Amino acid sequence: MRLITFSHRNSAPRLGARIDDLVVDLGALAAQAGVDLPPDLLSLIQAGQPALAAAQALLDGDPATRPAGSVHPLAEVTLQAPLRPGKIVGVGLNYVEHVEESSRSLDTAKELPDRPVLFGKPATAVTGPGQPILHNADLTKQLDWECELAVVIGRTASRVSEEDAWDHIFGYSIMNDISARDQRRSGQWFFSKGQDSYAPFGPAVVTADEFPDPLSLDVSLRVNGVVMQDSNTRHMLFSIPRLIADISSGMTLEPGDVISTGSPSGVGAGMVPPQFLNPGDLVEATIEAIGTLTNPVIDAR
């Protein structure tokens, strides 16, 4: 399933599923069928497999019996961030070529890390499809992009082995790990990466059963139509199971938490000369089988 959060004609946020160019209102289907379905995606994930199965059963029903007003053209709805995670765990330096470009441009180590490099992004950084990335020139002159595969946790994970890690994944999405490169503080990344709007997220969460191999997905990013990043998740230094095992060794991952699995090369700081985002730019982050997350950059002052 391709699960989304949307509004229609200024409605309150609704839980939906995207099918081709249509949006199906899962809440409306549940009300008609007398099914007790959680009203939002985070609650659905937290409710576990029975709730996911109920949502799938509603979608599998005869389309002709869907109630009036429960299906909308995609062009007529406003997509929002699929959910607000309890926590976002970012992964730095997780593609070999990005390690090299970061050592040149960001003063990080030249050697490949022997353990995942982790940092946090607050939930307040999350913004949705079409929503603006805020550029505050009083705080940064080096606003950068990073297209990343987002792993959405589906089951509580504490001290999980790599072999069992796949069982704890609900699905996958896109996160653009926006970074103010000139706001690193004594090597710490939290303010650099955690400001408001620095975690564009979406456009959907695609359930794990839709992915035969999430470690072989094309990843790309465009700024104003120009390709800046072009890679594949097969080039991750630390695989998704390794990340879950490492993080959960000392930090409990809860349903709805997100791991942003790292950026391939092609960030603005690594270019010669460096290129950074400015008001008026349009950023499009694309991952195979998920879609494209598009966000404009605006002046936030």
The predicted-structure confidence for 190-228, as pLDDT tens digits, reads as follows 999 999 999 999 999 999 999 999 999 999 999 999 999
- Give the pLDDT band of residue 113 (cuts 50, 70, 90): confident
Q: Would you kindly state where each structural domain of the chain is located, as residue ranges?
A: 2-80, 88-299
pLDDT-derived band at 109 (thresholds 50, 70, 90) equals low
Quick one: pLDDT at residue 301? 82
Is the model's pLDDT at 107 over the cut of 90?
Answer: no
pLDDT at 264 exceeding the cut of 90: yes
- The model's pLDDT over 131-182, given as tens digits with 9 standing for 90+, comes to 999 999 999 999 999 999 999 999 999 999 999 999 999 999 999 999 999 9
Q: How far apart are CA 206 and CA 3, in angstroms?
A: 6
CB-based burial label for 173 (10 Å; 0-12, 13-18, 19+): buried
Mean pLDDT of 110-135: 94
Q: What is the pTM of this model?
A: 0.96
Over pLDDT 90: what percentage of the chain? 91
| pLDDT reading at 3 higher than 90 | yes
Q: Which residue has the higher pLDDT, 98 or 57?
A: 57
Residue 186: pLDDT band by 50, 70, 90 thresholds? confident
| CATH top class, domain 88-299 | alpha beta
Place of tokens 């939290």: 190
Q: Is 257 left (phi over 0), alpha (psi -120 to 50) or beta?
A: beta
Superfamily of domain 2-80: Fumarylacetoacetase, N-terminal domain (2.30.30.230)
